[in-house]
């Protein structure tokens, strides 16, 4: 019988540790809902002791998500474990405390300044405390990849005896190779006397590009939980990519005979949602979820595909959620067709959303002949933000080879209508300067990226903007057939996420242009 691998998703915790990828509570809940629909077994919702915001977000996810188990991360410290226990409480018997301490010589000596005996004692005390406060406890030996195997066996045995039912072996710095990591997992399972009382888990980082290979080597050697993230997000070079692990097991069942409970058709929509929310674009040639993952360019390949799709495809785009029905609706389509298509894409529109999205759809259909599923998802992602304080009323840009680009913007800020104009190095720069002249704080631009959502010169451009205001980093997205308009929308989306943003007092000087 095919064995089952548990998927532990840490997009909301380790993924959020990717530079610039922080999410607010509402965004985290959206991702958690998508992960639950995707079918992950465990959602690591955050690190409750890290901040009051993290605590509240884990608590909210624990109370709203009804399928997956909800894990809260905690260092091996009483205050962390108590905070995690409280935050995951609404999940009831689906709550898990994930506590960790470092076990490698370099981490114990240089970082913790603790002896190996002290580390074992702290791990055991922490697992016992966590077990008294939560239904399930996972213990991680941080930097297990560089830990001495005898010490690792000792601490694993002690924490299982203390009540941990999931033992996680992280390759924290992505140093391992598949053969050595696989044999490390086998050694632990064979040598630790009570190993049969726990599920062995792995958590691999991608510093040498081996996170997925190492995770699979561990699975082949007895690991039955893999910690991974959507799009491989995570600290530094990231974690093992969920979509790759899942599709390797599905496509090569002949090699592994292990499967997951993931609904693979939800992979691409989930990847797009995470990319949009974190402002972290997916590279075009990324396996499974990259825009080119199923694109066939050369004549020989296209000829083969026309004769039989299996000539150049080892899995179908449909099986991972790419829409095969590429061309969808046009300007004559009605509400019913729109509702049905969104339902196929996994979104049930309520009346208010339908109203807004249908209007945007008609506007887009006037500009663009063919409307693809990707366009529809972008229309949806343009959702009106509940506390939207700035909105774009109008934008006019003039640019050319001989002229200095100039932009005139009209914004609604709170209840005021404001106008400004500015010159810039290009039309986008001019538009950004004009918008920024009207509000404060207006943040430092950390990232600006443009992606074509579909192909063709009438494709919508999807722009991502990342702004920094002090310690806060926010992302904004905007889509439009006009890239300058998409850019202005993305900037405004990001500005709306800055808590104290308001109209600049000096705006009067610009009005009336």
- Distances in Å between the alpha carbon of 269 and those of 15, 178, 327, 357, 391? 17, 30, 17, 18, 27
Residue pair 496/485 in contact (Cβ under 8 Å)? The answer is no
Q: What phi, psi does 66 have (nearest 5°)? A: -110, -5
The yes or no reply on residue 510 touching ligand KIV (CB under 6 A) is: no
Q: CB-wise, 168 or 264, nearer to ligand KIV? A: 168
**DSSP SS3 for 400:** coil
Stretch that binds ligand KIV, among 164-172, 275-283, 317-325, 366-374 (CB under 6 A): 164-172
CB under 6 A: which stretch of 153-161, 168-176, 326-334, 400-408 binds ligand KIV? 168-176
From the list Zn ion, ligand KIV, none, partner contacted by residue 142 (C-beta under 5 to 8 A by kind): ligand KIV
Residues 5-44, one symbol each (x = binds Zn ion by CB under 5 A, - = not), give ---------x------------------------------
* Contact between 55 and 87 (Cβ < 8 Å): yes
80 is a site residue for ligand KIV (CB under 6 A): no
Q: φ and ψ at 476, to 5 degrees?
A: -135, 150
Residue 14 vs 493, nearer CB to ligand KIV: 14
Q: Of the ranges 89-97, 166-174, 299-307, 439-447, which one interacts with ligand KIV (CB under 6 A)?
A: 166-174
Cα–Cα nearest to 74, from 140, 22, 11, 21: 140
Smallest separation (angstroms) from Zn ion to the CB of 216:
18
Piece of the chain touching ligand KIV by CB under 6 A; list 165-173, 387-395, 439-447, 494-502: 165-173
Q: At closest approach, how far in Å is the CB of 64 from ligand KIV? A: 24
Are the beta carbons of 116 and 107 closer than 8 angstroms?
Answer: no
Comparison of 74 and 268: residue with beta carbon closer to ligand KIV: 74
100 binds ligand KIV (CB under 6 A): yes
Instruction: Calculate the dihedral angle through the C-alpha atoms of 329, 333, 337, 342, rounding to the nearest 10 degrees.
Output: 50
Residue 223 and residue 5: Cα distance in Å, rounded? 8
Closest CA to 10 of 75, 71, 83, 93: 71
Place of tokens 């894990």: 71
> What number of chain residues touch ligand KIV (CB under 6 A)?
9
Angle at 495 between CA 53 and CA 385, to 5 degrees: 70
Q: In what order do the strands lie in the sheet with 406-413?
A: 390-398, 406-413, 416-423
Phi, psi of 321 (to 5 degrees): 100, 5
The secondary element (H helix, E strand) that includes residue 269 is helix 267-278
Binding mask 197-226 for ligand KIV (x = CB under 6 A): ------x-x---------------------
Comparison of 40 and 463: residue with beta carbon closer to Zn ion = 40
- Mask of contacts with ligand KIV, 117-156, x by CB under 6 A? -----------------------x-x--------------
Among 9, 14, 440, 462, binds ligand KIV (CB under 6 A): 14
Q: Give the DSSP H/E element, type plus range, for residue 410.
A: strand 406-413
Partner from ligand KIV, Zn ion, none contacting 481, C-beta within 5 to 8 A by type: none
Q: Please report, as ranges, the residues that interact with ligand KIV according to CB under 6 A.
A: 14, 100, 140, 142, 168, 170, 172, 203, 205
Q: Please report, as ranges, the residues that interact with Zn ion according to CB under 5 A.
A: 14
């Amino acid at each position: 019988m095919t064995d089952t691998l548990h998927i532990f998703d840490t997009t909301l915790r380790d993924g959020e540790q990717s530079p610039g990828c922080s999410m607010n509570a509402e965004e985290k809940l959206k991702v958690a809902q998508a992960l639950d629909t995707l079918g992950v077994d465990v959602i690591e919702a955050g690190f409750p002791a890290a901040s009051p915001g993290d605590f509240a977000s884990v608590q909210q996810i624990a109370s709203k998500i009804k399928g997956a188990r909800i894990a809260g991360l905690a260092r091996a410290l009483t205050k962390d474990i108590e905070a995690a226990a409280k935050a995951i409480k609404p999940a009831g018997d689906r709550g898990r405390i994930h506590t960790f301490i470092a076990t490698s010589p370099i981490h114990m000596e240089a970082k913790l300044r603790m002896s190996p005996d002290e580390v074992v004692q702290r791990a055991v005390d922490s697992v016992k405390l966590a077990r008294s406060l939560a239904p399930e406890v996972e213990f991680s030996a941080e930097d297990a990849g560089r830990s001495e195997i005898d010490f690792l066996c000792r601490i694993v045995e002690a924490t299982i005896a203390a009540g941990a039912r999931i033992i996680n072996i992280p390759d924290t710095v992505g140093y391992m190779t598949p053969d050595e990591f696989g044999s490390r997992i086998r050694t632990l399972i064979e040598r630790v006397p009570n190993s049969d009382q726990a599920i062995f888990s792995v958590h691999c980082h991608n510093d040498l590009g081996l996170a997925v290979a190492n995770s699979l080597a561990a699975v082949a050697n007895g690991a039955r939980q893999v910690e991974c993230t959507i799009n491989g997000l995570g600290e530094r070079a990231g974690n093992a990519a969920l979509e790759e692990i899942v599709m390797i097991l599905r496509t090569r069942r002949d090699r592994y005979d292990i499967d997951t409970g993931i609904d693979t058709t939800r992979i691409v929509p989930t990847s797009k949602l995470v990319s949009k929310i974190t402002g972290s674009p997916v590279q075009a040639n990324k396996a499974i979820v990259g825009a080119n993952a199923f694109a066939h360019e050369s004549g020989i390949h296209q000829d083969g595909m026309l004769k039989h799709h299996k000539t150049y495809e080892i899995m179908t785009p449909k099986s991972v959620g790419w829409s095969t029905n590429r061309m969808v609706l046009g300007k004559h389509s009605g509400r019913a067709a729109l509702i049905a298509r969104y339902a196929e894409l996994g979104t049930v529109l309520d009346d208010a959303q339908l109203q807004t999205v249908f209007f945007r759809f008609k506007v887009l259909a006037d500009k663009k002949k063919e409307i693809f599923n990707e366009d529809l998802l972008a229309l949806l992602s343009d959702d009106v933000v509940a506390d939207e304080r700035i909105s774009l009323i109008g934008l006019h840009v003039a640019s050319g080879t001989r002229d200095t680009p100039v932009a005139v913007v009209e914004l609604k800020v709170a209840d005021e209508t404001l106008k400004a104009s500015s010159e810039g190095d290009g039309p986008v720069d001019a538009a950004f300067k004009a918008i920024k002249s009207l509000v404060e704080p207006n943040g430092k631009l950390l990232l600006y990226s443009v992606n074509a959502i579909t192909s063709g010169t009438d494709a919508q451009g999807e722009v991502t903007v990342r702004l920094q205001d002090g310690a806060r980093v926010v992302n904004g997205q905007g889509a439009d057939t006009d890239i300058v308009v998409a850019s202005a929308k993305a900037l405004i989306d990001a500005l709306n996420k800055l808590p104290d943003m308001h109209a600049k007092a000096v705006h009067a000087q610009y009005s009336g242009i």
